[in-house]
Chains A and B, each alone.
Chain A
């Protein structure tokens, strides 16, 4: 009897390990900033270098911070998804134009549309570093008290917005 049970047990254990292990994405490093206050920033706008926006201006509302750049190919796939989301007027999206050239960033927005309420210009990536950005695009969900509630690594898709981001946004809005 043991002769049959033992290989079966080994097989099952191995299957579970492989199932879990192979479905993990090693690139998705969990952010230690979740449930911590969003790092403060004061940055110029992409469209107007003389205007400064700071994180404090967003207090009292739930908002998304989307890190993007003109050189990032995944951002191009993500762009229509963000356009769609912006059209629904559910949650304000702020863009963080990360380590980009001003004219390149502006060109993207004028060509593909602008889903952002405001676009911040982080030319040397210093604010990106504060937020723990290591790959663009990344999207942060920030609540009314200015606390980071979730971080999406990689492109936003209709699926992960519907299943993960928007339910969280709705919940945070009620608080």
Chain B
């Protein structure tokens, strides 16, 4: 039962695909492959959307070109390479880790380290700020009498 549930949960993302396949091709296998690939490509006209879900003219064209290349026998990687060659790495939603994108990938970790450093520094400062109170002999005397009074009453 659990397994069945899990399996049906895995099918869940397919519902979202149902909406995105707008351009009907003769070949459903190609269409599926194309949509899969188009999800990894940024629409340059509407930058937070991917080419699979965008309805812009440019995305339509890119999908059409993907379809044609796939029918002509190009692999997914070849199509991606072609897009990067034309439009640059910014068309990829998942940019490769290389020298140019290194700061982008490293930034969260650098910020995390920086945060930990600041936290550590602050904590240490706070610990040293709490000093054991030193009392003069006179104060000690006063405190003792006060405490004594308290216990008597």
Contacts and interface: CB of A to CB of B under 8 A. Distances in A.
Contact of A129 (B45, B47, B86): B86
B45 A132 contact: no
A125 interface: yes
A134 B58 contact: yes
Contacts of A33: 86
A29 B90 contact: yes
In this complex, the member of A30, A99, A131, A132 whose beta carbon has the largest number of chain B beta carbons within 10 angstroms is: A132
A27 B47 contact: yes
Interface residue tally of chain B, by bracket? 10 to 19
Chain B interface main SS type: helix
A132 B86 contact: yes
Nearest to A135: B45
Contacts of A135: 44-45, 58
A125 B86 contact: no
B108 interface: no
Contacts of A130: 86
Interface in B24-81: 44-45, 47, 57-58, 61, 65
Interface of A: 26-27, 29-33, 99, 125, 129-132, 134-135
Interface of B: 44-45, 47, 57-58, 61, 65, 84-91
